[in-house]
Chains A and B, each alone.
Chain A
Amino acid sequence: MSKPRIILLPGDRNGIGPEILGKLLADPACHQWADIEVMADPGVLAAGGVPAAATAGYRLLPFSPEAEAPIEPGQATAAAGRECLAALSRAAQRLRDGEADGLVFAPLNKQALHLGGLAQADEMRFLAHELGHDGACGELNVLAELWTTRVTSHIPLADVAGRITPGSVGQTIRFAHDSLVAAGRPAPRIAVAALNPHAGDGGNFGREEIEVIEPAVRRAVDDGIAAEGPFPSDTVFVRARDGAFDCVVTMFHDQGQIAMKLLGFGQGVTVLGGLPLPITTCGHGTAYDIVGTGQATDGALRNALRICAAMAGNNQNGSAR
């Protein structure tokens, strides 16, 4: 079996993306996982200290849609945003054409993307559009061996309870299961968080656990998924960290993000799940405040590459296509 072909993008030119890409590519170990193709403006790579393609052993695909734009460390600029969108679009085209098996991008900056003309809510929706994918997709966060995803995401907390339905909870459990299996984790153990304090305390503090979440978990179990819950959300991540579960499905954004960030999600990976091909990125952002200081580390980007390569390799093995 040949190694999967993975496209790597440096992300926002004014953030730490180019530097951490340089640190990653300087390590020969990263080439064991994948045949790496870097698509980027050579000027941006040079400024970030990325070693030359010939010495580091990757393939360079020069791509300079904003060749005239300056590099402005720590600034969210429209040019950087436009460049990122153009690179994502081009990378998606290569994935669609079968010229690559997966995509990993270094951090993007949301403000820059919007200045650069992003029409969708975020880069995941943008990529789904570019890949011609109109099915469900969602973000999963991965920290070491622990995965998490959520039933609701960027919506007001007041709207969350109304979106907790047997369908939405069931779909998210299924989505988590399928994503972990795609990443090479057969029969993942999935913990489902409760919505209310003390998991509703037997109905005293809310009935969604009894009426919605528990039936959804039961149905998932009937479908052969190793799901359990609902568990009180204040301790479910502690148990998962200690190895009781492979994945936690949360009901809303901060339920998972508070715990994951405390557990060190800065080194974590975001997987854009549900898309036809594996796409991953760093859990952290562009870290504009430390650009050029040498403090940025490539741990998260390295993990993103490792997970993307595993998912792409799994696609090949499964010969689904």
Chain B
Amino acid sequence: MAVDGPLAPIAITLGEPAGIGPEITLKAWHRRVFHDLPLFYLIGDPGLLRGVAKKMSSPPPIKEIAEPAEAADVFDTALPILPIALAGRVKPGRPNTRHATAVMAAIEQAVSHARAGAAAAVVTNPIQKSVLHKAGFKHPGHTEYLAELCAAKRSPVMLLSCPGLKAVPVTIHLPLQEAVAALTTDLIVERALTTAAALERDFGLSPPRLAVAGLNPHAGEDGELGSAERDIILPAVRRIAAEGIDVAGPLPADSMFHAEARRAYDAAICMYHDQALIPIKTIAFEFGINVTLGLPIVRTSPDHGTALDLAGRNEADPASLISAIGYAGLIARRRRRFG
């Protein structure tokens, strides 16, 4: 593949049709020039998108395409849509299990386009997990589903990124009690090495610098407030350092995220979901994105949910999706150039 030719278009999935995904995708296309966004197309239902567009003051035009390669000719004048028909009408804010098949099909198609090189990356709109679970979806979330579709050998890693902070939760969608129990030295090391490789390969941060959070208050305070730091995390930090990676930790989680502390590292390795999400959302509520590391394809997504309460009101902010599309393009370009 030519290294300097145009990038293949980016595939965007429909996500939950009753959520804000269709609306923010239209808004992202509307602002494509302003944000200098790479070429993208949506895999979704054209009728639904037309209905959502009608509520906007200047409805973005929509044009159906038959394959990803056609997106390039359409993108300047309309949002290219590769059609997947929904099983009926969509009520904004009211997810319905009968749409689950189409929601999953959009994800499967996007992955297959990316694996075949027809799409440069996959950007996923938020899904309503509880609805998909009722329809037989067995995965805790997008990330795990994508790993299966890609037949990934290593378990994928969720990297959250906002201006000023990148954070990787070692455990993700587990009850807090189980997350604590699931924490092992091996798991921390594996996540950290995947993260370090991605910082270098996808973000050009070389050599990468990591900071590992403690699990307990005050990072355990020398064992007074818990032993996980001594028994699990510190040995992991030593093994990561032994791989030649610049790493610090375990650090007290409440003092490692302020602006000055963040200057000392490129990514924070966090021990549980909210330890990573709280700083990301607090620092930059609108701009957080999710990048899946360790997959053979490039995948990003906005870090917010379906926002069912906002659906159908034309009030949703596309900032996070726009940022996710932009990063997908940057990472895809770097991978093409540097492998």
Contacts and interface: CB of A to CB of B under 8 A. Distances in A.
Is the interface on chain B under 10, 10 to 19, 20 to 34, or 35 or more residues? 35 or more
A206 B273 CA distance: 13
A197 B274 contact: yes
Nearest to B277: A234
Q: Main secondary structure on chain A at its contact with chain B?
A: helix
For B174, B220, B275, B282, the residue with the greatest tally of chain A CB atoms inside 10 Å of its CB is B282
A253 B176 contact: no
A205 B175 contact: yes
A255 B282 CA distance: 12
A255 B225 contact: no
A200 B140 CA distance: 12
A153 interface: yes
A179 interface: no
A5 B177 CA distance: 47
Nearest to A266: B258
Given A197-B173, A197-B273, A154 B278 contact: no
Interface of A: 153-158, 160-161, 195-198, 200-202, 204-208, 232-235, 237-238, 252-255, 257-259, 261-263
Nearest to A237: B282
A204 B217 CA distance: 26
Nearest to A197: B273
Nearest to A155: B225
Nearest to B130: A202
Given A238-B282, A261-B255, A154 B217 contact: yes
Interface of B: 129-130, 133, 140, 172-178, 180-181, 215-218, 220-221, 225-228, 253-255, 257-258, 272-275, 277-283, 285, 305
B216 A204 contact: no
Given A201-B129, A261-B257, A196 B176 contact: yes
A247 B216 CA distance: 24
Contacts of B253: 254, 257-258
A155 B221 CA distance: 10
A255 B285 CA distance: 16
Contact of B281 (A202, A208, A238): A238
Which 9 A/B pairs are nearest by Cβ-Cβ distance? A206-B175, A156-B226, A257-B254, A234-B277, A197-B273, A253-B217, A161-B177, A262-B282, A234-B281
Given A154-B217, A160-B176, 7 more contacts: A156-B216, A158-B181, A205-B140, A206-B174, A233-B277, A234-B278, A238-B285
Contact of A261 (B130, B178, B258): B258
A234 B274 contact: yes
Contacts of B254: 253-254, 257-258, 261
Contacts of A259: 278-279, 282
B226 A258 contact: no
B159 to A, nearest CB: 16
Contact of A233 (B173, B255, B274): B274
B258 A262 contact: yes
Contacts of A160: 176-177
21 contacts: A154-B217, A154-B218, A155-B226, A156-B228, A157-B180, A197-B176, A197-B274, A197-B277, A198-B173, A206-B174, A208-B175, A233-B278, A234-B280, A238-B282, A254-B253, A258-B282, A261-B254, A261-B255, A262-B257, A262-B279, A262-B283
For A233, A237, A252, A258, the residue with the greatest tally of chain B CB atoms inside 10 Å of its CB is A258
A321 B181 CA distance: 50
A153 B217 CA distance: 8
A200 B258 CA distance: 28
B217 A155 contact: yes
A207 B177 CA distance: 11
A205 B174 contact: yes
Contacts of B177: 158, 160-161, 206
Given A195-B176, A197-B173, A205-B175, A255 B129 contact: no
B170 to A, nearest CB: 13
A202 to B, nearest CB: 5
B176 A157 contact: yes
B118 to A, nearest CB: 33
A217 to B, nearest CB: 18
Contacts of A235: 281, 285
A22 B273 CA distance: 43
Contact of B274 (A202, A255, A257): A255
A205 B282 CA distance: 22
A255 B276 CA distance: 11
Contacts of B278: 233-234, 237, 255, 258-259
Contacts of A158: 177, 180-181, 226, 228
A201 B130 contact: yes
Contacts of B273: 197
Contacts of A197: 172-174, 176, 272-274, 277
Contacts of A257: 217, 253-254
Nearest to A193: B274
Contacts of A200: 175
A198 B129 CA distance: 11
A204 B215 CA distance: 23
Contacts of B272: 157, 197
B228 to A, nearest CB: 7
A74 B207 CA distance: 35
Nearest to B254: A257
B226 A157 contact: yes
Contacts of B274: 197, 232-234, 255
A58 to B, nearest CB: 34
Contacts of B225: 154-156
A202 B275 CA distance: 20
For B129, B215, B278, B279, the residue with the greatest tally of chain A CB atoms inside 10 Å of its CB is B278
